[in-house]
Amino acid sequence: MGGLSIWHWLIVLVVVLLLFGTNKVSGLMGEFGKGIKNFKQSVSDDDKKPDASMANPGTLPPITDPQKTTVNQG
């Protein structure tokens, strides 16, 4: 009691197919599959792209000395 057996899931599947029809269910599953595929592709693309800050580690931004900066109080 409390758990759903395979028969319960089969009955739920039959009811869903009767309510929505096979075309809507297959179309929905196709869109779901395309979404998963696009997600995996974007994750793998992000892994391949190097970070812009790590593109040339020999180049660092100039260091400014806060004591040498002047503020125009004019």
Q: Does 7 map to a domain?
A: no
Domain membership of residue 40 (yes or no) is yes
Tell me if 17 is assigned to some domain: no
Q: What predicted TM-score, i.e. pTM, was given to this entire model?
A: 0.42
Q: What is the pLDDT along the chain (74 residues), one digit of tens a residue?
A: 568 899 999 999 899 888 888 888 888 889 999 999 999 998 888 777 665 555 555 666 667 776 666 666 65
pLDDT of residue 72: 65
The residue segments making up the domain with residue 41 are 22-47
pLDDT of residue 24: 85
Residue 42 lies in a domain: yes
Tell me the three-class secondary structure of the chain, residue by residue: CCCCCHHHHHHHHHHHHHHHHHHHHHHHHHHHHHHHHHHHHHHHHHHHCCCHHHCCCCCCCCCCCCCCCCCCCC
pLDDT score for 56: 58
Q: For residue 41, is it within any domain?
A: yes
Number of domains the chain contains: 1
